[in-house]
Chains A and B, each alone.
Chain A
Amino acid sequence: MDAPILRFVGLLRQRGVRISPAETLDALRGLDAVSLARRESVKTALRATLIKEGRDEPVFDELFEAFFSVDDRRRAGGHDHDHDHDHDEDEPAPPTQVKVSEEPPDFDDPSHSHELPADVAKYFDDDQLATAKRLHKDGTRIDLAGLSQELILGERKEDIEEAVAQLRHILHLRRLTNPGAPGKLALDGGEVVDADLTVGSVDHLPSLPPGSMLDEAQVEALRRQVDGVIANLPELLRRYLEKLMALERPAHSKEASPAYKAAFSEEERRRMDALLRRLGRELKGALSARRMTAARGRIHASRTIRANMRYGGLPFRPVLVAKRQDRPRLILLVDVSLSVRNTARFTIHLVHSLQSLFSQVRTFAFVSDLVDVTPYLERCELDEALGMIFGGEVLDIDANSNYGHALATFHREHLSAVNRRTTVLVLGDGRGNGNPPHVWVLDDIRRRARQLVWLTPEPERYWHLGRSDLPAYAELCDRVELVRDLDQLEAVAGIVLRPL
């Protein structure tokens, strides 16, 4: 039981879901407690123990369906994907299916009790199984129909092991290129399955707790299902493995794909969350006009008395309170052209989260044209907004960067947004492709703003290479910060969000 779950967790992690070892243990303990015969229970148990963020739920659902199902042919029969959590006819993973299996037909929806037996009957034909699936005409006589019963009904571990050994025997034969009797099990097309993987998966079988929590009815239901599956085992295994391989593949190919992806790595997401949490906390404190306990400030009479009861009412340790400073307003001008895209991605993520917390953050994106993207960031999900901004829906991102034009547009239309409480952040490399830089705009902004910070992904020694207007801009800024990764962004966030 453990191994498939660990593997499932591994896949989830690969897709960027954060799961700690403690949670994995919870999941295993949780599966012990629920009835494994019920697909829905298993899913809920895994979800409750492993998935703690709403954003991870779609990934979980998708992976669960893919991972714990062998036979999607049956799913195709009448159930669409939107309702798959209700009555899926999927089989779980091959090693676990024998125990985990699908829900019994009497669960939840009475209509299935009629459908299922008929469905299974297609796969289950005693005569046919007994003859066609026999591996050798004499000798070993492995009968798959009988095998499945052994798997289920065998209360003792050795029975299961015996059955597994037989199964493995079949699989070994399958791997042989003998075109004789084993060919019955193999597919006609002769597609090569990763047989090592297959045998490895089957190895998990003996670790199942034999027959531990199945009552008679469940055993009966399971056996009927398993019989059907066993009949099609080779076919099912092959498809399952293909699906597994497909599952593990895209995680890598995704990174290689050149198109823009808003997905963040697990590490990035974790650090970003931590950074946001810290910022949120600091800014939230600043939000309230409430007086807070502080190192210096006025004496708060009642709290002092209360705190000093232990000293017999003598004001031995005064409690001081002070008003927190008002929070700053933030204006961001972000260059979203290709050259700074990676930094912009982080910055916009940061801003998006700030935006949802605070009303006084405005974001302008530019390449040549300047567009107020605040409403997108406020209204849309992050991925969607990033997709819109970088996908060229909002502005033409394939144009050549024109800082002068963007700044002039800002000056003309949005300068009123800048006041002495505003911190203006400009993100870009200052490469205006020889267009007039309009440096005076920055001068105006600086005079109005509390502080003007320029974030650039290029270190200073590269500024004079090519045509960069950054040196001219830099003179006017309160500070220029090099931001290439999260570390540096964190440092800047500290500067920017310092109370007035």
Chain B
Amino acid sequence: MEPLERFESVEDVVDRFRAFEYVMTEQAATVVYLATRLQKPVLVEGPAGVGKTELAKTLASCSDRRLVRLQCYEGQDDTKALYEWDYGKQLLYTQLLRERIDTLLSGTTELAQAAERLRGQEDVFFSEHFLVERPLLEAIRSPEPTVLLIDEIDRADEQLEALMLEVLAEFQVTIPELGTLSARTQPWVIITSNTTRDVSEALKRRCLHLSLGYPSAERELDILRIKVPDVGEQLLRKVVEVVRAVRQLDLRKAPSISEALDWARALTLLNVPSLDREVIEETISLIIKYDKDVERVQHELPRLLGIIDTAAPPTAHAHEQGDHHHGHTHPTSEEEAYHRHAQGYFGAIRSDSK
């Protein structure tokens, strides 16, 4: 199939993404649409697991473009992101062509003369032939249009950001030995960031900005329905409710859409008909990644079960109802204790009474 040239409208974006099992907000679709129309990179920010990378992947597959991915990490430099000279190959060619070089240089008597002649042949060794294309260069030099995903740019050092500016704004790369290589095709660029640090002003200015957050209940249910179709509607609703309730707790890492998906999939594999206390306790580690958080959730479990129970027949769950009340008072008292401690700790009272 031919790569897609452009989206027709915002609805077109939504529909195409949906066909590839990606449920989009109106806002995200508008930004993607604008980006493809204006030929601007999109900077997607948001917590982990809300579908930032998936957005780029889906953009590639729904437009039949090839995905070129640059995964950023600390200490990454231009030889890993942009291009590198293939020194090995250059060396090999120099060795193989030694005889030819000898003939070329035969007849020269002085060193300066020989050097002059060699200089005339420099182009042979600094040509695109010896260039190792790294993702950024690859994306713009690709003969067929691509989607360039620059993943987790906040992990990379700031120097790398500066290197990207030329690529992102002008879609060209300047190589000192060769000159400027401009894009054969303009890639659609998606940059993701988990905001562990601020992305530089200069880069932001060149991008359209999109912040993805946790989805609404409706959209989350929609996503689960599409991605895990063989689970009953009832169970999915409960999964969404519990995940959303867990997100409300003050956790180190709140569960994202990806965790909700993992959980729903796991529940299908385990062939669980409905969520109850036991099931949640056994599988909670799928959505909670830190021990402390797991403890916290265990604490709140009665309340979470209460959420589910509202949908279930009341008679069978008299016990949990009791638990629910117990669980409800507990966090409140804990909170009070926390405040008392905090006040003393800050010294507000102590210093007054000096």
Binding site for B on A (CB under 8 A): 18, 20, 22-23, 26, 29-30, 33-35, 40-41, 44-45, 47-49, 51-54, 57, 108, 273, 277, 280-281, 290, 306, 309-310, 312-313, 369-373, 375-376, 394-396, 405, 409, 413
Contacts and interface: CB of A to CB of B under 8 A. Distances in A.
Interface stretch (B207-215, B300-308, B326-334): B207-215
Contacts of A35: 9-10
5 contacts: A48-B208, A52-B209, A277-B158, A371-B351, A395-B348
Nearest to A31: B34
B346 A48 contact: no
Nearest to B25: A44
Given A369-B351, A375-B346, A394-B346, A281 B158 contact: yes
Interface stretch (B59-67, B87-95, B230-238, B264-272): B87-95
Contacts of B345: 372, 375
Contacts of B208: 26, 30, 48-49
Given A33-B33, A313-B91, 19 more contacts: A22-B205, A23-B205, A26-B38, A26-B40, A33-B34, A35-B10, A45-B30, A48-B30, A48-B34, A48-B208, A49-B208, A54-B45, A306-B87, A309-B87, A369-B352, A371-B346, A376-B346, A395-B348, A405-B354
A376 B208 CA distance: 33
A280 B197 contact: yes
Given A34-B33, A370-B351, A375-B342, A310 B90 contact: yes
Given A34-B33, A41-B10, A310-B87, A52 B207 contact: yes
Interface in B29-46: 30-31, 33-34, 37-38, 40, 42-43, 45
Interface string B281-309: 00000000000000000000000000000
B200 interface: yes
Contact of A34 (B10, B87, B207, B209): B10
Contact of B205 (A20, A30, A370, A409): A20
B113 interface: no
B206 to A, nearest CB: 8
Nearest to B158: A281
Contacts of B94: 312
Interface of B: 9-10, 26-27, 30-31, 33-34, 37-38, 40, 42-43, 45, 75, 85, 87-88, 90-91, 94, 158, 197-198, 200-201, 204-205, 207-211, 342, 345-348, 351-352, 354
Contacts of A306: 87
A20 B94 CA distance: 50
Contacts of A281: 158
A273 B9 contact: no
Contact of A273 (B87, B201, B346): B201
Classify the secondary structure of A's interface with B: helix
B340 to A, nearest CB: 14
Contact of B347 (A18, A22, A49, A372): A372
Given A33-B37, A375-B345, A310 B85 contact: yes
Contacts of B201: 18, 52, 273
B205 A48 contact: no
Contacts of A370: 347, 351
Contact of A394 (B158, B348, B354): B348
Contacts of B210: 48
Contacts of A309: 87-88, 90-91
Nearest to B125: A310
A11 to B, nearest CB: 19
Given A30-B34, A33-B38, A310-B90, A371 B348 contact: yes
A306 B88 CA distance: 10
Given A20-B205, A34-B10, A277-B200, A49 B91 contact: no
Which of B43, B204, B208, B211 has the most A CB atoms < 10 Å from its CB? B208
A45 B347 contact: no
Minimum-distance CB pairs A-B, first 5: A309-B87, A369-B351, A52-B204, A44-B30, A33-B37
A139 to B, nearest CB: 46
Which of B9, B201, B209, B342 has the most A CB atoms < 10 Å from its CB? B209
A51 B346 contact: no
A273 B202 CA distance: 13
A22 B201 CA distance: 13
A247 to B, nearest CB: 23
A376 B200 CA distance: 27
Given A33-B34, A312-B91, A54 B211 contact: yes
Contacts of B352: 369, 396
A381 to B, nearest CB: 15
A372 B347 CA distance: 7
Contacts of A51: 209
A77 to B, nearest CB: 23
A284 B122 CA distance: 41
Contacts of B33: 33-34
A395 B91 CA distance: 71
A48 B91 contact: no
Which of A18, A30, A396, A409 has the most B CB atoms < 10 Å from its CB? A30
B287 to A, nearest CB: 25
B159 to A, nearest CB: 9
B34 A34 contact: yes
A44 B35 CA distance: 12
Contacts of B347: 369-372, 413
A44 B26 contact: yes
B354 A409 contact: yes
A375 B90 CA distance: 58
Contacts of B87: 306, 309-310
Nearest to A285: B157
Contacts of A290: 75
Contact of B351 (A26, A277, A395): A395
B129 to A, nearest CB: 16
A29 B38 contact: yes
A362 to B, nearest CB: 13
Contacts of B42: 48
A40 B26 contact: yes
A352 B175 CA distance: 41
Contacts of B351: 369-371, 395, 409
Nearest to A405: B354
A452 to B, nearest CB: 23
Contacts of A312: 91, 94
A372 B348 CA distance: 9
A333 B42 CA distance: 43
Contacts of A372: 345-347
A276 B31 CA distance: 30
Nearest to A107: B26
B161 to A, nearest CB: 11
A419 B82 CA distance: 45
Contacts of A394: 346, 348
B113 to A, nearest CB: 22
Nearest to B207: A52
Nearest to B205: A20
Contacts of A371: 346-348, 351
A370 B352 CA distance: 10
B223 to A, nearest CB: 18
A54 B193 CA distance: 13
Contacts of A413: 347
Contacts of A26: 38, 40, 208
Which of B37, B42, B201, B204 has the most A CB atoms < 10 Å from its CB? B201
Nearest to A41: B30
A280 B205 CA distance: 21
A40 B26 CA distance: 8
Contacts of B38: 26, 29-30, 33
